């Protein structure tokens, strides 16, 4: 059977030629809506072909695509739309119905009908999936546009919003790359992600997340196949690998756990021998899980360490990892990774410290409307995202802690400050602390410990229900405890370690 090439999303298949035509038309339409270099186009969608169409069209105009996490509630969506300055929103029909008050006056909304594959995956009713009467349909709008004839500027990256340590998300607005940076990035991406012409990539993760987003957009330039999964399902993943002879994928450890939980007879019934490079990052992978995956996939696994702000700064293949169990790799060419103490001095080999990094090929960035936050994480030109680690004598980096208050659940960063701010706004709350506790499938899950205000009575289920109206479901505490008081330092700061450490003592892991 002849191999498909192009973009595959459920039952929808676009050849690269068809995709290029639609992107050119969409770029022409964006120009007529006033979108130009440096502007922003927001995208509120699940994994679907128009997500990439809209992203590529924005990039062709020199604008930033701004993916919005579709789990967000109306208040959260409204914040990103306002903060990013988006003038156009491309949105799935069912999601548009969920956030009617999020759009500010003057925002052009282009509605994508939610396709059957997504309706089936998420239980969306047919009437919710249709473009509302009187709204502008994305497909009809694209077909009506004249293609853009303007040459495309050097591509910038999508502007990804990270959860914020201060309680609000921050948009990572990366500067446009120079020709020298672009050439260096091509070499780096080929090494770390395995990009090559004709690669056949499977995208099981959400496109609103920075790594799958960048991975899919770059894979689409390779001329092979890019297949989008509506949501991750372990056996469906294996079936797609076999059916489409997938060679490349980007994954997170939670997906490995679910794959390994399949019955062995199911796992081994699928041919995965075409896999040549499966990249994973975003969250710590339990060593026993990684060993099992390497044994199963014959060394196709590679790993890097980096962040939305930094790009990939270390890398290791399967053989290196087996020889240095637990490592996230050695420093890649063109990167600087330093381990510093509290005073900013580099520590000796084997000693832990905060990681400060810089990748020469990666263009610098600022936080949208929050330049002071950008300056706070820099030291002598190097950037930190708060991770703590050390180098061994062979130059391999190991992560062992997090200095910044962050939870990583299923590869997604969750900042307790945002959840704590929402809890403090609830009636009857006197004090609270939010932190991560061990979770066998997701790595960590969210826990909240709350002290009621004097005379108030709180129940965990009431707290969760109240938060559900304001926060995306993945941010909601999975466990809530009500206590009379919380331990504090002499300075007044809550002793989160005292609350959190008992849950981690028996796991052999540190956070």
Contact 224, 201 (CB under 8 A): yes
Of the listed ranges 356-370, 379-393, 411-425, the least confidently predicted one is 411-425
Contact 394, 408 (CB under 8 A): no
Comparing 418 with 366, the larger pLDDT belongs to 366
Report whether pLDDT(42) > 80. yes
Which H, E and C letters describe 371-397, residue by residue?
A: HHHHHHCEECCEECCCEEEEECCCCEE
Identify the residue whose tokens are 């700064």: 313
pTM: 0.85
Q: What is the pLDDT of residues 251-289, one digit of tens each?
A: 988 899 899 999 999 999 999 999 999 999 877 787 888
Q: Between β-strands 225-228 and 200-203, what pairing exists: parallel, antiparallel or unpaired? A: parallel
Contact 86, 107 (CB under 8 A): yes
Contact 203, 229 (CB under 8 A): yes
Write out the two tokens for 417. Answer: 């400050």
**What is the per-residue DSSP string for 96-128?**
HHH-TT-PPTTPEEEEEPPPHHHHHHHT--HHH
Which H, E and C letters describe 148-207, residue by residue?
A: CCCCCCCCCCCCEEECCCCCCCEEEEECCCCHHHHHHHHHHHHHHHCCCCCCEEEECCCC
Calculate the average pLDDT of the chain. 91
- Nearest one of 426, 427, 402, 429 to 415, comparing CA atoms: 402
pLDDT value, residue 453: 82
Report whether pLDDT(403) > 80. no
Q: What is the pLDDT of residues 476-506, one digit of tens each?
A: 999 999 998 888 765 556 888 888 888 887 6
Contact 218, 224 (CB under 8 A): no
Going from the C-alpha of 197 to that of each of 94, 269, 491, the distances in angstroms are 36, 29, 57
Write out the two tokens for 127. Answer: 């009437």
Q: Which helix (H) or strand (E) holds 304?
A: strand 301-307
Tell me the range of 22-31, 445-454, 471-480, 484-493 where mean pLDDT is highest: 22-31
Q: Which helix (H) or strand (E) holds 436?
A: strand 429-439
Name the DSSP class of 440: T
- Nearest one of 205, 204, 265 to 237, comparing CA atoms: 204
pLDDT value, residue 65: 98
Residue 298's SS3 state is: coil
**Mean pLDDT in residue range 407-417:** 81
User: Is residue 156 very low, low, confident or very high in pLDDT (cuts 50, 70, 90)?
Assistant: confident
CA angle 221, 227, 233 (to 5 degrees): 145
Contact 194, 224 (CB under 8 A): no
CA angle 328, 332, 334 (to 5 degrees): 150
Q: How would you class 236 by CB atoms within 10 Å of its CB: exposed for 0-12, middle for 13-18, buried for 19 or more?
A: middle
Q: What is the pLDDT of residues 300-349, one digit of tens each?
A: 999 999 999 999 999 999 999 999 999 999 999 999 999 999 899 999 99
Cα 17 to Cα 15: distance, rounded to the nearest angstrom? 5
Contact 404, 166 (CB under 8 A): no
Q: Give Cβ neighbours of residue 431 (< 8 Å, ≥ 6 apart).
A: 450, 451, 485, 486, 494
């Amino acid at each position: 059977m002849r191999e498909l090439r192009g973009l595959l999303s459920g039952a929808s298949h676009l050849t690269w030629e068809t995709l290029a035509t639609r992107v050119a038309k969409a770029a022409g339409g964006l120009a007529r809506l006033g979108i130009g270099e440096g502007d922003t186009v927001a995208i509120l969608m699940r994994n679907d072909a128009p997500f990439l169409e809209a992203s590529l069209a924005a990039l062709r105009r020199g604008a930033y695509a701004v993916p919005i996490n579709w789990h967000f509630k109306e208040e959260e969506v409204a914040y990103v739309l306002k903060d990013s300055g988006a003038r156009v929103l491309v949105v799935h029909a069912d999601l548009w119905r969920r956030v009617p008050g999020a759009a500010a006056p003057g925002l052009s909304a282009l509605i994508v009908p939610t396709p059957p594959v997504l309706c089936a995956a998420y239980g969306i009713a047919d009437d919710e999936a249709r473009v509302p009467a009187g709204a502008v349909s994305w497909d009809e709008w694209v077909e009506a546009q004249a293609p853009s004839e303007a040459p495309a500027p050097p591509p910038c990256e999508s502007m990804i919003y990270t959860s914020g340590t201060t309680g609000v998300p921050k948009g990572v607005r990366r500067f446009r790359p120079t020709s020298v940076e672009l050439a260096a990035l091509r070499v780096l991406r080929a090494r770390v992600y395995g990009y090559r012409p004709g690669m056949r990539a499977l995208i099981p993760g959400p496109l609103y997340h920075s790594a799958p987003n960048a991975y899919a957009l770059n894979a689409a330039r390779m001329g092979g196949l890019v297949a989008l999964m509506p949501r991750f399902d372990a056996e469906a993943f294996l079936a797609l690998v076999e059916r489409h002879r997938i060679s490349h994928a980007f994954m997170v450890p939670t997906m490995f756990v679910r794959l390994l939980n399949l019955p062995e007879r199911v796992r081994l019934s699928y041919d995965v021998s075409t896999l040549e490079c499966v990249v994973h990052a975003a969250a710590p992978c339990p060593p026993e899980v990684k060993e099992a995956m390497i044994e199963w996939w014959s060394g196709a696994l590679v790993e890097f360490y980096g962040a939305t702000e930094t790009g990939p700064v270390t890398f290791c293949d399967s053989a290196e990892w087996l020889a240095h169990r637990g490592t996230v790799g050695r420093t890649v060419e063109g990167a600087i990774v330093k381990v510093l103490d509290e005073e900013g001095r580099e520590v000796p080999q084997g000693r832990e410290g905060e990681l400060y990094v810089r990748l020469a090929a990666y263009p610098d960035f600022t936080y949208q409307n929050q330049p002071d936050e950008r300056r706070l994480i820099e030291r002598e030109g190097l950037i930190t995202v708060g991770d703590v680690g050390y180098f061994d004598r062979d130059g391999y980096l190991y992560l062992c802690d997090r200095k910044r208050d962050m939870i990583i659940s299923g590869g997604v960063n969750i900042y307790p400050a945002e959840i704590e701010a929402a809890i403090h706004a609830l009636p009857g709350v006197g004090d609270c602390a939010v932190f991560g506790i061990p979770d066998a499938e997701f790595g960590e899950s969210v826990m909240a410990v709350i002290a009621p205000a004097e005379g108030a009575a709180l129940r965990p289920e009431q707290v969760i229900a109240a938060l559900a109206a304001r926060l995306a479901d993945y941010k909601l505490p999975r466990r809530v405890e009500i206590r009379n008081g919380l331990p504090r330092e002499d300075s007044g700061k809550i002793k989160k370690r005292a609350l959190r450490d008992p849950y981690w003592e028996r796991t052999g892991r540190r956070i």
